[in-house]
Amino acid sequence: MANTQNTFTIFNWVSILIITLLLVVLSFICSISINNFNVFASSGAIMAISGIYLSFSHTILLSSKDENKLMAHKNGIGLFGCDKDSVEYEKGLASAKQTLMNERVGFGMSIIGTLIWAYGGYLS
């Protein structure tokens, strides 16, 4: 099976989700200890930004080399123009699946983060 790591992101969606959730939990614990939930509400902004990054990470170019990969990915090269049993097809399919998962997780994180950011301060 082909490598499923998305070449267009610095971190994969699992590591970003874990880091963000850890930050949210730590800020919630901190908010309880100081009895001020504005710290927790602010963590929602971090979650929303992380979600936006995940949703658009496949379009962020880190180098000119990535530009060629992005254009090939967007045009379906390696996915639609080759034999379904080839390694190139498997790599293109894995990259497309990773991009879709990044967008789904990023969208959910953006919504939840925005809700925490907007209403987290009212918990006190």
104 is a domain residue:
yes
Phi-psi region of 86 (alpha: psi -120 to 50; beta: other; left: phi over 0): beta
Per DSSP (E only), the strands in the chain are none
Report the pLDDT averaged over residues 100-108.
Answer: 82
- In degrees rounded to 5, what are phi and psi of residue 95? -65, -40
80 is a domain residue:
yes
94 is a domain residue:
yes
State the residue range of the domain holding 75. Answer: 13-123
Could you report the per-residue pLDDT of 56-83, keeping only the tens digit for each? 776 665 555 555 565 555 555 555 555 5
2 is a domain residue:
no
5 is a domain residue:
no
63 is a domain residue:
yes
7 is a domain residue:
no
- Owner of token pair 């880091």: 19
Number of domains within the chain: 1
Query: pTM of the prediction?
Result: 0.64
62 is a domain residue:
yes
